[in-house]
Structure 1
Amino acid sequence: MSDHDLKTTFWDRVENVNVGMLSATGTDPRPMAHHARRDDGALWFLTAKHTDIGEDAAAGKDARYQIASGDAKIYAVVDGTLSIESSRDKLDEIWSPMDAAWFEEGKDDEDVRLVRFTPKSAEIWAHDSTAKAFYEMAKSAVSDDVANPGGHGKISF
C-alpha cells in the first residue's frame, strides 16, 4: 500500500472509531473520543480546562494518539501536536450529544476546551477483513509465504 493509499485509508477508517488513548509528552494516556476532520488534517477533542489534556494543549505539547479498532479494521500510533482552538464555529461543527454529557452548561460551559491534535507522523496497520486475515495466516502455515492481511507502514502528514 502506498503512502497516499495508507493516508486515505487512515482518514476513511478513523471516522469509524469512537475512542483512542491520547497522551502528551510526560503524561499518562487517557481514553478520549475524537472527531476526525480530514479537511482540517486534524483530530478534535473536547476536554475540561484543568485536565492534563487541556493544560497540555494550552502549552502546545507534542502528543501521541493510539487507536485500536478491530471493527474499523485499523490500528495506529499517531504522533502530533496539541493546541487549543477558540473558534466557536469549529466547536459548533463538532459538538455532539455525547459531548454535552460532560458539561453542565453544554458548549457554553466556561470549562469547555476544544483541542486540536495535528498529526505529524503515524505507523498504521490496516487489515482488509477478518476472513482475509485468517486466509493469509492459514496460507502461510502451509507454505513458505508470509501472511499479508492488509496494509502496514509509516506515513507523514
Structure 2
Amino acid sequence: MSHHTEQADQLSPAETEDRIWKLANDIRICMLTTWSGSEQHSRPLSAHVDRDVHALYFLVDESGHKNEEIEKYPEVSCAFVDKGANDYVVIAGEAKLSNDRAKIAEIFSNFAKAWWDDENDPAIRLLTVTPSRGELWDGPGSAVAKAKLLFAAATGGDIDMGETGKTRL
C-alpha cells in the first residue's frame, strides 16, 4: 500500500482551477444558496458553465424569493456534488438577474422544458454568477484533498491574498 504525503496530493493553482471548472461542467446540477438577511436558502439548479467568459448561467423564474434575495445580497454559493466519485466543488461569487433573451434562448435545454414550454416564455430570467472563490474536495475514495482558490476578476482587479492556501489566478 503506497502512502502519499499531503504535498504530493496538492494541485497547482492552475490545476485546481481547471479541476473546479471541469467538475462544475460535468456535474451540472448544483445547490445554489442565497442569503435573505436572516437565513440561507438553497435550491437545486442546472448550471450552464462557460469558463471562457468566467460565468455560470442559470435559468430561473421571474417570481420567487431568491430573486429579491439576490438583488439585496448578490453573494451566492453553488455546491456541486459527485457522490460516486467523492468529488465536491463549491463556487462562490456575485449573482445578477437579467432578462437577456438571446442568452436565455442560447442555453435553453430539454431540462428547462420541465418548467417552461420554450425559451420564449416571458417568465424566464437569466441568473449569471461571476465566480470569485472556488473550493475543491477531490476524491478518490475517502482520501479527499482540499484546495481553495480565488478567481481573478475578469476585469483583472486585485484580490486580497490574505489567506494561506488560496491563490490568485
What is the TM-score normalised by the length of structure 1? 0.77
| Equivalent residue, structure 2, for 1:86 | 99
2:150 aligned to which of 135, 144, 156: 156
In the alignment, structure 1 residue 18 sits paired with structure 2 residue 34: no
* Aligned residue identity for 2:48: H
| Equivalent residue, structure 2, for 1:100 | 113
Q: Say if 1:81 and 1:119, in contact at 8 Å, map to a contact too.
A: yes
- Three-state SS of the structure 2 residue aligned to 1:109 is coil
In the alignment, structure 1 residue 39 sits paired with structure 2 residue 52: yes
**Aligned pairs for 1:118-129 within 5 A:** 118-127=130-139, 129=140
| Equivalent residue, structure 2, for 1:115 | 127
* Aligned residue identity for 2:69: D
Aligned residues: 138
Aligned-pair Cα RMSD in Å: 2.1
- Three-state SS of the structure 2 residue aligned to 1:107 is coil
* Aligned residue identity for 2:134: A
Output the CA distance in 1 between the equivalents of 2:77 and 2:23: 18
Where does the alignment leave 5 or more consecutive residues of structure 2 unmatched? Answer: 1-10, 152-169
* Aligned residue identity for 1:7: E
What is the TM-score normalised by the length of structure 2? 0.72
Deviations 1:34-83 (A, max 9, x none): 11111121111111111123333444611111111134653022211110
- Three-state SS of the structure 1 residue aligned to 2:18 is helix
* C-alpha distance 113-72 of structure 1, shift in aligned 2 (>3 A): farther
User: Counting helix residues as a fraction of each chain, which structure ranks higher?
Assistant: 1
* Identity of matched residues, %: 25
Stretches of 4+ aligned residues off by more than 6 angstroms: none
Output the CA distance in 2 between the equivalents of 1:71 and 1:44: 25
Q: Say if 2:81 and 2:87, in contact at 8 Å, map to a contact too.
A: yes
